Amino acid sequence: MNEERLDATFAALADPTRRAILARLRRGDATVAELSAPFAISQPAISKHLKVLERAGLISRGREAQRRPCRLKAAPMREAVDWLANYRDYWEQSYQRLDALLDELQRPENER
């Protein structure tokens, strides 16, 4: 796993505007104008967010005649999910130990 790419992915995902842009792109390609419509920020501000997403490898920009649609590229998110999965195992084990302790504490004193 590429640590720099993982860092870029998490940094890009840290911003709620960028997450909203990715959510919109999940439904299909969109232009900068289409992506900026729901936000109360300028198109240049949206373009800056798009550059961050593009550097992280989360989107690509194409060219179709006069349109320059943005497209979701989800592979870096899969790498982030895989990295986080290591911690899921840790938490599952912690919850299992907690469940065992709670079961022990709920048993009557003479059965312990």
> Is 29 a residue whose pLDDT tops 90?
yes
More confident residue, 18 or 88: 18
**Helix, strand, coil % (nearest 5) of the chain?**
65, 10, 25
Looking at residue 112, its pLDDT comes to 63
User: How distant, in Å, are the alpha carbons of 59, 76, 84, 86, 87 from that of 81?
Assistant: 17, 9, 5, 9, 10
What is the share, in percent, of the chain residues with pLDDT greater than 70? 98
Domains of the chain: 3-111 (1.10.10.10)
74-92 tens-digit pLDDT: 999 999 999 998 888 888 8
Give the span between the Cα atoms of 53 and 67, in whole angstroms. Answer: 19
Total-model pTM: 0.77
Q: Is 93 or 49 the better-scoring residue by pLDDT?
A: 49
